[in-house]
Chain A
């Protein structure tokens, strides 16, 4: 299974959700499917995508938040599982694409390579109740839809091949992405009469 296939599968579902993605291949593949104003690409600060997701989900209970994380990134912030479990935002879906590789920085094996480190077990042990493991695109699609319907904090670990896009580049400055992402949230809160 490739991450790009997974992203294609859930892309229509992301239309009305706040999406935070990690840097590199994951960000580029999502962008290549078509940028939306509700997508935030964290192009650095590895590990913090899920923390941003927690900040969004906590303060915007009427929105659904999807974090697209990776094994290399989440290994830099394993405490995030414990913090997520403790505060338990019901409107957050945390997807981890586990390719066992630090692909964007040269393809060195990560600690999850060859099953050494089990991210599912770490998430469960941290106290997250709904943890799914996907090895096929069908598994992944079903796990994602189940998480959407569940309306409870869900982690999905998707085992994907260590392959990425053939080019990198976005017509979107970093600050521009942040300003527009924030504005999209604020506008939506205004039109909904929401709480933002």
Chain B
């Protein structure tokens, strides 16, 4: 039990600890330590709420961790954590039919795992999806296992005719979320906002 607590303390630090001590990990072969940006995670979460969205489906991953922690701690927000991202496409369709503004949070590999649902539910039936996708495996990626998914994400989005934008600037991201939601509903289409390293890491 002590070991488990120590592990939790090391890997799931509380939100009120200074950002420099949180989720710190070393880039292989480099000395620079990187952290998930708690400040920008808060800006994204506040942007989701400012867009009038109170329902979120997600599969946790490192970059999305602090954001999901906020969603979990907020009594006004309904967070549904899925076992696989394709489920979230069904949940989002149910939320749309119910008239409840909803956003999907996933890693790009989860997006790749959800493609049939996106094509054969959302696109086939004209169901809007507002997807915020953590773009792992791209510029600056130190981990080899993320790279193929990162490299193919944009071409796959293009092949599927899913409109997308890159979110890099914390000052723009709230507006980008609002616009993504608006466009998904006017076009009755999936729309993707790609959360980049510039935004998600300090």
Contacts and interface: CB of A to CB of B under 8 A. Distances in A.
Interface of A: 40, 42-45, 47-60, 77, 79-80, 82-83, 86-87, 174-175, 177-179, 181-182, 185-186, 189, 196
User: Considering the complex of A and B, which 4 residue pairs feature the smallest CB-CB distances, nearest first?
Assistant: A55-B94, A51-B90, A79-B83, A48-B90
Given A49-B90, A54-B80, A59 B100 contact: yes
A187 B116 CA distance: 30
B34 interface: no
A181 B83 contact: no
B90 to A, nearest CB: 3
B99 A45 contact: no
A189 B99 CA distance: 10
Contacts of B98: 55-56, 59-60, 185, 196
B82 A178 contact: no
Contacts of A55: 80, 90-98, 102
Interface string B104-123: 00000000000011001100
Nearest to B90: A51
A45 B120 contact: yes
A105 B71 CA distance: 41
A48 B121 contact: yes
Contacts of B99: 59, 182, 185-186, 189, 196
Residue among A52, A178, A182 with the most chain B CB within 10 A? A52
Interface stretch (B45-53, B124-132, B140-148, B170-178): B124-132
Contacts of B69: none
Contacts of A182: 96-97, 99
29 contacts: A45-B120, A47-B86, A48-B89, A48-B90, A51-B82, A51-B90, A51-B93, A52-B94, A52-B97, A55-B90, A55-B92, A55-B93, A55-B98, A58-B55, A58-B91, A59-B55, A59-B98, A59-B99, A77-B87, A79-B82, A79-B83, A79-B84, A87-B80, A174-B124, A178-B126, A181-B97, A182-B96, A185-B98, A196-B98
B52 to A, nearest CB: 14
A107 to B, nearest CB: 22
A191 to B, nearest CB: 14
B78 interface: yes
Contact of B90 (A52, A174, A181): A52
